Amino acid sequence: MAEGATIEEQSLPRYHERRYYPVKIGDVFKNQYRVIAKLGYGAYSTVWLAWDQRTKQYTSLKVCVSPDTESSPVLNEINMLRRLKGFPDTEQRELPGIGFTRLADDIFEIDGAFTNGRHYCSASWPDGQSIRVLQETFLDAILPKLLVKSFIHRLWFSVNWFHSTCGIIHADISPQNVLMQLEDHSSLSDIEDQELLNPSVPVTTTNGVAPVYRSRRNKLELSGFPVLTDFGQMRLAEGQINRDWWTPDLYRAPEVLSGLPWEYPVDVWSIGVLVSVSGIVIGSSRASHVGVIHLITSPSWRRRAVAASD
């Protein structure tokens, strides 16, 4: 096994402060989910391809870091997933919106013997790569206009369900949080075959208890069917004033950048910026983003922003 190298989640800021569960390929969770391969990672979790031994289907297993505060994005996402699952129409997957939203089929906890904490896990229907990964395959990250129209049209159904039925603001819509649906599970079978033929070799820490695997990417599919995911920053629209922010600078609405209270429209703004991948260049820095907003908003808005910052 390799040792000393820095890969995947190890390269993230505060990696050692965030207690990742040491998942190993071949582990079985809840006597039901057998881990096949690693699919990805983030600041608060790792994601694995698993085999559901009860349903005899592939599943995407998200294993979260042990939450360190009550306001942790991990706890927020778990609470929101449970809230969404509690709506009467959630089981009716054919309804507009639900089919384009990554809900949890199962939520459970595991003990972290080496992390001194509890870890939440969620099992979901597996999906494909993110729009961010898809952008990397096109010149200047500009996607075909017909593809953009297709997934934006369907993304609205998901956001509308959040807003009109659930009373929830996603608050973190960006290319990395929109996945493309898989047309079938052949690519998942391919990943399992690859893992059998060429097993992943993890990088281990000096104490040998925290293996880190490299992710295996499934194939890119231009299905045009998006799946909105990552609910760690979701907020309730009623009963609280929202002023914090997490979305990358480019996707933040004017009220977020200006420190004003925000509600449902921040999701609308983020989707509008997503449309920019069809050819509208906004810029990548915070300064250029704010400059564009100043060009398209009125003087009265700028006075509000200045007043809010005083």
Residue 212 domain-assigned? no
Whether residues 81 and 139 fall in one domain: no
0.75 surpassed by pTM: yes
Whether residues 195 and 303 fall in one domain: no
CATH of residue 170's domain is: 1.10.510.10
Q: Could you say which of 27, 105, 172, 249 is catalytic? A: 172
Q: Tell me: the pLDDT tens digits for 175-195?
A: 899 999 888 888 999 999 999
- DSSP string of 147-174, one letter each residue: HHHHHHHHHHHHHHIIIIII-EE----S
Whether residues 275 and 197 fall in one domain: no
Q: State the DSSP code for 262.
A: B
CA dist 120 and 108 (Å) reads 6
CATH of residue 20's domain is: 3.30.200.20
Q: Note if 111 is an active site residue.
A: no
One-letter identity of residue 175: P
Residue ranges of the alpha helices (H) in the chain?
A: 73-85, 131-135, 145-160, 186-197, 254-257, 265-275, 286-296, 299-309
Whether residues 177 and 196 fall in one domain: no
The two three-digit tokens of residue 46, written as one number: 């790792």
The total number of structural domains in the chain stands at 2
Whether residues 140 and 193 fall in one domain: no
Residue 2 domain-assigned? no
pLDDT of res. 64: 95
Q: Tell me: the pLDDT tens digits for 42-80?
A: 989 999 999 999 999 999 999 999 987 788 899 999 999
CA dist 182 and 222 (Å) reads 9
Q: Tell me: the pLDDT tens digits for 243-293?
A: 887 777 788 888 888 888 899 999 999 998 888 755 544 445 555 555 555
CA distance readout (Å), 20 to 119, 136, 234: 8, 28, 22
Containing domain of residue 19, as a range?
Answer: 13-85+93-125+183-205
